[in-house]
Amino acid sequence: MIRNVLQTIGGIEVYPIISLLMFFGLFATVLIWFFRVDISHVKTMASIPLEDAQSDENGK
Amino acid sequence: MSNESEHSSFPEGTSQEISGRSTLESFAYDNAIVKNFAWATTIWSIVGFLVGLIVALKLVWPDFLGFIPELSYGRLRPLHTNSVIFAFAGNAMFMGVYYSLQRLTKARMYSDTLSKVHFWGWQLIIVSAALTLPLGFTTSKEYAELEWPIDIAIAAVWVIFGWNMMGTIFKRREKHMFVSIWFYIATFLTVALLHIVNSFELPVSLLKSYSFYAGVQDALVQWWYGHNAVAFFLTTPFLGIMYYFIPKAANRPVFSYRLSIVHFWALIFLYIWAGPHHLLYTALPDWAQSLGTVFSIMLIAPSWGGMVNGLLTLRGAWDKVREDPVLKFMVVGVTAYGMSTFEGPMMSLKNVNAIAHYTDYIIAHVHLGALAWNGGLAYGMLYYIIPRIYRTKLYSLKLANIHFWAATLGILFYAIPMYIGGIMQSLMWKEFLPDGTLRYANFLETVTQLIPMYMIRAVGGTLYIIGACVAAYNLYKTAKSGSLLTDEHVKSAPLAESVSTTHKHWHRVLEAKPLRFAVLSLIVVLIGGIIEYVPTAIIQSNIPSISSVKPYTPLELQGRDIYIREGCVGCHSQMIRPFRSETERYGEYSKAGEFVYDHPFLWGSKRTGPDLHRVGGKYPHAWHYMHMMEPQTISPGTIMPAYPWLFTDNTMYHELEGKIITMRKLGVPYPEGMEQKAEKVARAQAEEIANDLPENKTMPVDANKEIIALIAYLQRLGKDIKAVGAH
């Protein structure tokens, strides 16, 4: 089955290479970001759910 | 509200530009829409679970509820799965998104009208599903059973949801998009993509269509959809919910925001490739199967990263888990997520899959996901949201605890017997005697062993339903004791547009640019789909063709549609895997070339009954005739239900012309003029079958009844390649 499929798609050999490169690229990018990100910014982001907007009783 | 912070949030980097409190904008969160979705999920959950209990009981007592076509197992099973996924989990997801999105963006929903259209549109879709599925209108593709007009409505309502969500994000007052919002955006985009691609179908009539794809392609698209529906409908939105509600309930920031970002990108990138693990050992090309397995194994990393991140957010707050029902449910949910996401990759290993696939093991796995993960987060949210929007306290902590234990024990009573039963049955299927014959040659022997397990499973399900009813009562009493705060008035600083982002870290820029972010996530999701799917799609013209495989005759086609309508695919597969235990039991294993005219494919995913791919010619017509009328007479102890209405309802011959025309448009090579003579050809074949049936005084054989068409289809199954050997 696999031989039939591979024989009929031109340039199929490049598919796994493309997927490997994309895979590697995405993870390398995320890793670079992971180690270079500004920690204070990360702390701010982590607390966003806890920072509620100020209640406005007069707004009613 | 008890845990509301006193501080308003000023977007980072803009605080200097805000001179004082006078610049704060007043606005109100829309709690009415949250309330609507909250009650919808509370009510639909009970409906969905009850239908589940009915089908569970039918597997113990097939005669339960008599022989009403609309209440038969095959028609109710898709109603159960659809109502739990789209009505219970769907409404729960929307409740969570509408509540958290407004608070994370510090903005009211973009449009109240869109919110309402979304809510009522979604409920209308659920009602139309509840009407059409029992009436037998189904495409047969799992979790995508709804017919084409409803598919269009789903797409429209989904776009309205996305439009409303993106609109809210664009007018937000919080510059940076919290990770939950990322999960919501990915959910919207990917589900839209999956739903549209999988729903390509050509209508025959108002409520009947044929899948655009055939055989292997249809299977691949369906499981690319099916798997990712679990990923992007039942997982990503709930992860977004986890990242908002666990910190809120524990009053702790997210354990690691960096981990959550890695979690997000890795998860959406890997998930989309994993679909083929539903088709291991089938006629799907090997390379696609292997890719599915590899990506499934890699998925453990982000999934467990997410689970650990959720649980560690509770560090220092574990004492609260003992008392707070919100956290109790969420902790069970996140833990079950961890178990399911370990189990899933393990089952995608070919050697494990060979044992688990087609058995009740899978049923246990999906219920762990739906009842514990989705259920845990849904009820955690309900216990969090209802008291807050009704400005009161939870009516009874004791009832919430009763619910928690009923649900947790219910899940255990459900899953454990199904795990045991699944493995047990699989091993029985594969057991050989020393002389090389199957130990349990009669499939039924492996089914009767499961009945006690099915009974315990029904007890587990009942416990879970009792819990859900207790929750509904508790939430109702809570609401009654308070008053709904329809518009929650708050104030926050507007988003300063002048802030330059040029010197910022690139990812931070991304966090502030929803459109750019959405496009990037879509690309990431598309990569997997395209690279994996396109080569398989190209096979269509190059698939190893088997010259003896011919299109179905008109009568067989009609019989096939009856097979689809009755949901036979819910219990019978049509895909024999290349194992000796299967070829010995069923015959030659299934080849890709055999399914080229199958719009839709009917491979199935569970074998409560035996595989039917080679059933053609195995028994005489009379066997099928009696078996469908009184299964117990032919196979004592069977749990196959009877189908008495097939003996009284007439075959709709007049539909054939349209069906042949539609099939030809889809590439099935019916000869010229077949549409005009289809009815005549079908009637002649029906007469032939009827004449072959023995005389029956109590019920004379009538060639015009649906049973004849169904027999014609069953007798055709898997026979075409046998003709190859003949010459």
Task: Give the model confidence (pLDDT) of A8-56 as tens digits.
Answer: 556 666 766 777 787 788 888 888 988 888 888 888 889 999 988 888 8
**A23, A31, A46: residue with CB nearest B257:** A46
Residue window 214-243, chain B: list those with CB within 8 Å of chain A. Answer: 243
CA B489 to chain centre: 38
SS3 content of chain B, % helix, strand, coil (to 5): 65, 5, 30
* Dist CA A51 CA B7 (whole Å): 7
Residue B542 pLDDT > 80: no
Identify all chain B residues contacting A56, using CB atoms and an 8 Å cutoff. Answer: 26, 489-491
Mean pLDDT of B7-22: 40
B246: closest chain A residue by CA: A49
Which chain B residues in 172-191 lie under 8 Å from chain A, judged by CB atoms?
Answer: 173-174, 176, 178-180
Nearest to B285 among A2, A23, A49 (CB): A2
* A45 to B257: CB separation less than 8 angstroms, yes or no: yes
Spatial separation of the C-alpha atoms in residues B677 and B657, rounded to whole Å? 8
Helix ranges (DSSP H) in B431-567 = 443-448, 451-481, 506-512, 514-542, 554-565
Between CA B631 and CA B609 the distance in angstroms is 12
Q: Chain B residue closest to A38 (CA)?
A: B505
Enumerate the domain spans of chain B: 25-494+502-530, 554-726
Among B109, B116, B95, B112, residue whose Cα is nearest residue B40: B95
CA angle B341, A27, A46 (to 5 degrees): 70
Confidence of residue B422 (pLDDT cuts 50, 70, 90): very high
Instruction: Determine how β-strand B487-492 pairs with β-strand A54-55.
Output: antiparallel
Rounded Cα–Cα distance for residues B254 and B507 (Å): 19
**Average pLDDT for residues B199-222, to the nearest whole number?**
90
Q: What is the pLDDT of residue B521?
A: 83
Q: Does A53 touch chain B (CB under 8 A)?
A: yes
Nearest chain B residue to A16, by CA: B531
pLDDT at A9: 58
Note the pLDDT tens digit of each residue in B483-492: 999 999 999 9
In this prediction, residues B391-404 reach a mean pLDDT of: 96
Using pLDDT thresholds of 50, 70 and 90, give the confidence band for residue B103.
very high
* Cα A35 from Cα A56, distance rounded (Å): 40
CB B218 within 8 A of CB B73: no
Contact B294/A at CB under 8 A: no
Q: Residues in chain A, how many?
A: 60
3-state secondary structure of B212: coil
CA distance B39 to chain A (A): 24
Q: Do B286 and A2 touch (CB under 8 A)?
A: yes
Band of pLDDT at residue A6, cut at 50, 70 and 90 = very low
Question: Quick one: pLDDT band at residue B175, thresholds 50, 70, 90?
Answer: confident
Number of domains in chain A: 1
Please tell me the predicted confidence (pLDDT) of residue B727: 42
Q: Examine the pLDDT at B20 and tell me if it is beyond 60.
A: no
Residue with tokens 């005739």: B625
Q: What is the pLDDT of residues B438-495, one digit of tens each?
A: 999 999 999 999 999 999 999 999 999 999 999 999 999 999 999 999 999 999 988 8
A45 in reach of chain B (CB within 8 A): yes
Distance CA B464, CA B460 (A): 6
**A54–B28 CB contact, under 8 Å:** no
Q: Give the integer Cα–Cα distance in Å for B485 and B425.
A: 54
Residue range B633-662: mean pLDDT, rounded: 94
B25-30, strands of its sheet edge to edge: A54-55, B487-492, B25-30
Contact between B527 and A22 using a beta-carbon 8 Å cutoff: yes
Q: Is residue A54 part of a domain?
A: no
In this complex, the residue of B178, B542, B543 whose CB is nearest that of residue A49 is: B178
Tell if the CB–CB gap between B287 and A49 is shorter than 8 Å: no
Is A1–B531 a contact, with Cβ atoms under 8 angstroms apart? no
A11 → chain B, closest CA residue: B535
Cα distance between residue B545 and residue B165, in whole Å: 47
For CA atoms B193, B195, B199, B205, give the dihedral sign.
negative
Cα-based torsion angle of the residue sequence B550, B551, B554, B560 in order, rounded to the nearest 10 degrees: 110
Chain B, nearest residue to A60 by Cα:
B489
Is A30's CB within 8 Å of B26's CB?
Answer: no
Q: Classify strands B208-211 and B201-205 as parallel, antiparallel or unpaired.
A: antiparallel
Tell me the two tokens of residue B369: 């996901």
Q: Is the pLDDT of residue B8 over 50?
A: no
Q: How confident is the model at residue B12 (pLDDT cuts 50, 70, 90)?
A: very low
Chain B contact present for A9, CB below 8 A: yes
Element (H, E) at B202: strand B201-205
Q: Is B391 on the interface with A (CB under 8 A)?
A: no
Residue in chain B nearest A10 by alpha carbon: B535
B24 vs A26: CB contact, 8 Å cut-off?
no
Tell whether the model's pLDDT for residue B569 goes beyond 90.
Answer: yes
Mean pLDDT of B621-634: 93
Whether domain B554-726 has CATH 1.10.760.10: the reply is yes
Element (H, E) at B361: helix B360-367
Residues of A in contact with B174 (CB under 8 A): 48
Picking from B261, B299, B501, B589 by the largest number of A CB atoms within 10 A of its own CB, the best residue to mutate is B261
Confidence at residue A22, expressed as pLDDT on a 0 to 100 scale: 78
Q: Which residue of A has its CA nearest to B593?
A: A1
CB contact under 8 A, A55 and B4: yes
A-B C-beta contacts closer than 8 Å: 139
Among residues B366, B364, B339, which one has the least CA distance to residue B423?
B364
User: Which pLDDT score, from 0 to 100, does residue B497 have?
Assistant: 56
Task: Inform me whether the C-beta atom of residue A19 falls under 8 Å from chain B C-beta atoms.
Answer: yes
Q: Which B-chain residues 577-596 have CB contacts (< 8 A) with chain A? A: 592
Within 8 A of A44 by CB-CB distance, chain B residues are 12, 176
Flag if A59 and B178 touch (Cβ within 8 Å): no
Tell me if A8 is assigned to some domain. no
Q: Is residue A30 part of a domain?
A: yes
Are the C-beta atoms of residues B305 and B292 closer than 8 Å to each other?
A: no
Residue A5 lies in a domain: no
Q: Mind listing the pLDDT tens digit for each residue in B111-138?
A: 999 999 999 999 999 999 999 999 999 9
Provide, as residue numbers in chain A, all residues whose Cβ is less than 8 Å from the Cβ of B30: none
- Do the chains contact at B9 and A60, CB–CB below 8 Å? no
Say if residue B506's pLDDT is above 70: no
CA-atom Rg of chain B in angstroms = 27
B503 at interface of A, judged by CB pairs closer than 8 A: no
Query: Rounded CA gap, A5 and B539, in Å?
Result: 6
Indicate the residue of A5, A6, A56 with minimum beta-carbon distance to B489: A56
Tokens of B525: 């999701």
Ranking B90-94, B242-246, B523-527, B659-663 by mean pLDDT, the lowest is B523-527
- Whether residue A52 lies inside any domain: the answer is no
Q: Does A32 touch chain B (CB under 8 A)?
A: no
State the distance between the two ends of chain B, measured CA to CA, in whole angstroms.
81
**What does pLDDT average to over chain B?**
90
Q: Under 8 Å CB-to-CB from A15, ≥6 apart: which residues?
A: B531, B535
Residue A55 at interface with chain B, using a CB cutoff of 8 Å = yes
Rounded to an integer, the average pLDDT of B97-112 is 96
Q: Which residues contact B390 (CB under 8 A, 6 or more apart)?
A: B478, B479, B481, B482, B483, B484, B485
A3 shares contact with chain B (CB less than 8 Å): no
d(CA B606, CA B572): 7
Contact indicator for B99, B378 with CB cutoff of 8 Å: no
* Predicted confidence (pLDDT) at residue B606 exceeds the cutoff of 70: yes
Q: What is the pLDDT of residues B628-642, one digit of tens each?
A: 999 999 999 999 999
Whether B508 has its CB under 8 Å from any CB of chain A: the answer is yes
Q: Is A14 on the interface with B (CB under 8 A)?
A: no
**What whole-number percentage of chain B has pLDDT above 70?**
92
Distance from CA of B385 to the nearest CA of A (A): 15
Q: Per-residue pLDDT for B378 more than 80?
A: yes
Average pLDDT over residues B646-670: 94
pLDDT of residue B504: 60
pLDDT at B518: 84
B25-494+502-530 belongs to which CATH class? Answer: mainly alpha
In eight-state DSSP terms, residue B429 is H
Q: What is the pLDDT of residues B545-561, one digit of tens each?
A: 788 889 999 999 999 99
One-letter identity of residue B302: P
Is A36 an interface residue toward B (CB < 8 Å)?
yes
What whole-number distance in Å separates Cα of residue B419 and Cα of residue B108? Answer: 46
**Predicted pLDDT at B560:** 97
Give B257's contacts in chain A (Cβ within 8 Å): 42-43, 45-46
pLDDT value of residue B22 = 52
A31: containing domain? 13-46
Q: What pLDDT score was predicted for residue B537? A: 62
Query: Contact at 8 Å (CB) between B274 and B289?
Result: no
Task: Say which of A6, A50, A54 has its CB closest to residue B247.
Answer: A50
B391 phi, psi to nearest 5 deg = 50, 55
